[in-house]
Amino acid sequence: MHFEPPSIFPVPRSAAVLLLLVVGACGVSPEPPPKVQRQSITGGEPEPGAPAVVAIVPVSPLCGEPDEASPVLCTGTLVAPRVILTAAHCVESPDVSQVLSVVFSPEPARAHPSERVRVLEGRLHPAFNAVENDIGVLILAEDAPVAPMPLAEAPLPADVVGRTLRVVGFGRDDEGQTGRRRSGTVRVAAVEAGTFSILASPGMSCGGDSGGPLFLEAEGTELLVGITSYGDPACTRGTNMRVDVHTAFLQAILDEVARTPPTRPAAEPTVDACSARCQGHAECPLGMACVIRPDGEKSCAVAGLEAGRFGADCTGADAYPLCVKAGGACRSWLPCDGSAPEDEESGGGCAASGSRGGSGMAFAALLVLVAGAARSRGTRATGGLAG
């Protein structure tokens, strides 16, 4: 869950943790991030069920950084075959959404490939701000492997204050670990026009649980009534977005995606990406993004990296060029200016950043946006850090 002032996660720590995605790409063993004395789903327990509740994770484009190692940024809930409901602050940057996947497994690190689905785009409520309308969706590249959860369309019951809800998320457990689906119970303390607040009873959401669901049992059925948004530093009180007041926003997206499911072709490493001009991410293959080149033009590049093109298969561990994932292989990623290492024809290297100044760092900088954009509004810090 997110936190109200004062801030407890300074920017340098966030950058350091997210940079591990790049620094560790070629087998480098960076120092572990400092432990965070936080708990999530306090008083909760592992949740092997609730298959529609997913972990939202980044996808490193670099070879040597397996998907299984990705940290949990936020939590979400499948509400249609291709739509994940989450918090707006988890998806507010269209650039960040290009490097995300959702994982349909109780333990993302143990997920099968079929349980990982790439994100096409993210959308957020048009009136989203620091404390209001913190609701958004992720649109998936293909149908999810599980059934969606029904949304609560009726207003919250008049007697909901004092009632118990169930909260689910992938955030830090009582031992400070993330990456397992957990659930716990909370008590409704108050209801406002667009939000409701909760108290630990004894469960409570915390870091990594942002965007996760709150369920109300009604006549033997669980209804998704809230979305985890922010709370106090001690994780004893939280504020959640009401789903029932946002049904018009959500239904418009559900209808659009059901009517015309968005598609993007798979990235084809044989295509010269430097010549693939674009105006937006949707014009690029899956796993690629529309980026601005040094000459001011735009072309499709591996999501998270600077403009470039696929080169030969990677065969070594030199400092340059980068090794990127290309289907089931690793290919070198070369700049569009035509320069290349002398041994490019015989294979490139595998590196976290190139000798030319850091395409690898572009991915790190992009991921820092996940935490930084939210943090600029106060103490909201997205993801496995404080999602």
pLDDT in tens, 192-204: 999 999 999 988 8
Q: Are the C-beta atoms of 21 and 370 separated by less than 8 Å?
A: no
State the CB neighbour count (10 A cutoff) for residue 43: 14
Domain 2-29+51-148+249-263+368-375: top CATH class: mainly beta
**Whole-angstrom distance, CA of residue 88 vs CA of residue 75:** 12
Q: Is the pLDDT of residue 146 over 50?
A: yes
Q: Is the pLDDT of residue 142 over 90?
A: yes
* Banded model confidence at residue 387, pLDDT cuts 50, 70, 90: low
**Whole-angstrom distance, CA of residue 119 vs CA of residue 128:** 21
Q: What number of CA atoms fall less than 13 Å from residue 248's CA on the CB side?
A: 3
Which one has a higher pLDDT value, 11 or 379?
A: 379
Domain boundaries, the chain: 2-29+51-148+249-263+368-375, 164-243, 273-303+307-357
Which one has a higher pLDDT value, 45 or 344?
A: 45
Model confidence pLDDT, tens digit, residues 243-281: 999 999 999 999 999 999 989 998 888 888 888 889 999
Among 159, 314, 137, 371, CA closest to 241: 137
Q: Is the pLDDT of residue 107 over 80?
A: yes
Q: What is the mean pLDDT of residues 301-308?
A: 92
Break the chain down into helix, strand, coil percent, rounded to 5: 20, 30, 50
Would you state the structure tokens that stand for residue 146, as one six-digit string? 């599980």
Q: Is 363 helix (H, G, I), strand (E, B) or coil?
A: helix
**Whole-angstrom distance, CA of residue 306 vs CA of residue 267:** 16
Beta pairing class for 53-58 and 195-200: unpaired
* Banded model confidence at residue 100, pLDDT cuts 50, 70, 90: very high
**Whole-angstrom distance, CA of residue 285 vs CA of residue 205:** 36
**Whole-angstrom distance, CA of residue 139 vs CA of residue 262:** 8
Q: Give the pLDDT confidence score for residue 320 in this predicted structure.
A: 63
Q: Which CATH architecture has domain 164-243?
A: Beta Barrel (2.40)
Within this chain, domains 2-29+51-148+249-263+368-375 and 164-243 share the same CATH topology: yes
Would you state the structure tokens that stand for residue 260, as one six-digit string? 């015309």
Q: Is the pLDDT of residue 379 over 80?
A: no
Work out the percent of the chain whose per-residue pLDDT is above 90. 50
Among 251, 238, 230, CA closest to 151: 251
For residue 22, the surrounding DSSP H or E stretch is helix 11-23
